[in-house]
């Protein structure tokens, strides 16, 4: 009996050790990025690398002084908020209709964008948007990023709508409610938390998306992610500013993800797994 208890304690200790190792491997690079962003410029490239230093905001000041960081950030915000809003506007009614009618092809159609390589769409978009003079416009960027947000909204909301008992809708129908009215007045308030999760996930993935803005933006509408190249170019000698840029770009998605971490996995797998 005592032996078994010992083995048990030993196994638990071994598991904790593995958990700590995994945690260090996962966190160390990010911690290093954040630390480097606060290092004085001569210490960022010090070799051997230093762990103890007097923190400074000089890299952040440098970043805003030498690059139009804030206007890139504003562009990112416009494109991300716009595409998230568009995704919700189209996605909420579609998810409701798919859940109600069980006709799933509209949902599967939007999923095609999640599977095909982005360049497949980017080539024809580029040709078409150039013909109508929309390259570099916020409209083109928002439309292209909505291709990312729409399937997220639909597939995160589908299980939420499925979870509402049908009898509630049927009762409302007997009372003469139209389908649209049932959606806005009855169903939507019941899936409010699902809407919040889908909006946050859509925001994060639109914010993180790289490829489309690389081609469809111009100097005035460039998003932070697409501008990362500019920072690397300048960062070849200025690692501190580069790491400050990386830290700031990663901050919004990380904060938002922390808010919804509990619902994240089922949302991210687009319904393939219930997390």
Contacts of 142 (CB under 8 A, 6+ apart): 78, 79, 82, 83, 86
Size of the site for other proteins (CB under 8 A): 96
**By CB under 8 A, residue 191 contacts other proteins:** no
Minimum separation from the CB atom of position 211 to other proteins (A): 6
**By CB under 8 A, residue 67 contacts other proteins:** no
DSSP string, 15-68: HHHHHHHHHHHHHHHHHHHHHHHTS-HHHHT-SSPPS-----SHHHHHHHHHS-
**By CB under 8 A, residue 91 contacts other proteins:** yes
Which of the ranges 54-62, 65-73, 190-198, 210-218 carries the binding residues for other proteins, by CB under 8 A?
A: 210-218
Residues 97 to 156 in contact with other proteins, rule: CB under 8 A: 97-98, 100-101, 103, 106, 109-110, 112-128, 143-144, 146-147, 150, 154
Backbone angles phi, psi at 117, to 5 degrees: -65, 140
Q: Decide if 99 contacts 162 (C-beta within 8 A).
A: yes
Residue appearing with tokens 């990112």:
76
Q: What share of the chain is helix, strand, coil (3-state, %, to 5)?
A: 75, 0, 25
Residues 169 to 188 in contact with other proteins, rule: CB under 8 A: 178-180, 183
CB-nearer residue toward other proteins: 183 or 191: 183
Backbone angles phi, psi at 268, to 5 degrees: -70, -30
Binding mask 7-26 for other proteins (x = CB under 8 A): ----xx--xx-xx--xx-xx
Residues 23 to 52 in contact with other proteins, rule: CB under 8 A: 23, 25-27, 29-30, 32-33, 36, 45, 47-49
Cα(220)–Cα(259) distance, rounded to whole angstroms? Answer: 32
**By CB under 8 A, residue 245 contacts other proteins:** yes
Which of the ranges 58-66, 131-139, 155-163, 200-208 carries the binding residues for other proteins, by CB under 8 A?
A: 200-208
**By CB under 8 A, residue 88 contacts other proteins:** no
């Amino acid at each position: 009996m005592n032996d078994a208890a010992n083995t048990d304690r030993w196994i638990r200790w071994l598991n904790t050790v593995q958990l700590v190792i995994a945690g260090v491997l996962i966190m160390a690079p990010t911690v290093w990025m954040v630390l480097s962003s606060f290092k004085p410029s001569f210490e960022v490239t010090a070799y051997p690398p230093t762990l103890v230093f007097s923190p400074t905001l000089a890299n952040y000041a440098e970043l805003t002084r030498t690059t139009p960081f804030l206007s890139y950030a504003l562009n990112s915000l416009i494109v991300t908020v716009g595409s998230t809003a568009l995704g919700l506007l189209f996605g909420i009614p579609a998810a409701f209709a798919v859940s109600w009618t069980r006709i799933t092809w509209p949902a599967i159609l939007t999923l095609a964008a999640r599977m095909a390589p982005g360049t497949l769409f980017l080539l024809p978009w580029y040709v078409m948007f150039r013909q109508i003079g929309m390259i570099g416009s916020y409209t083109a960027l928002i439309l292209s990023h909505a291709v990312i947000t729409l399937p997220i909204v639909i597939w995160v909301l589908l299980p939420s709508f499925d979870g509402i008992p049908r009898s509630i809708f049927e009762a409302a129908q007997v009372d003469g409610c139209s389908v649209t009215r049932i959606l806005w007045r009855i169903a939507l308030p019941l899936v409010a938390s699902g809407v919040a999760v889908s909006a946050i996930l859509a925001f994060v993935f639109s914010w993180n998306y790289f490829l489309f803005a690389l081609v469809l933006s111009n100097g005035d509408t460039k998003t932070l992610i697409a501008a990362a190249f500019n920072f690397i170019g300048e960062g070849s000698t200025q690692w501190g500013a580069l790491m400050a840029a990386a830290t700031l770009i990663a901050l919004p998605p990380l904060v938002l993800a922390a808010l919804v971490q509990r619902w994240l996995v089922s949302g991210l797998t687009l319904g393939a797994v219930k997390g």
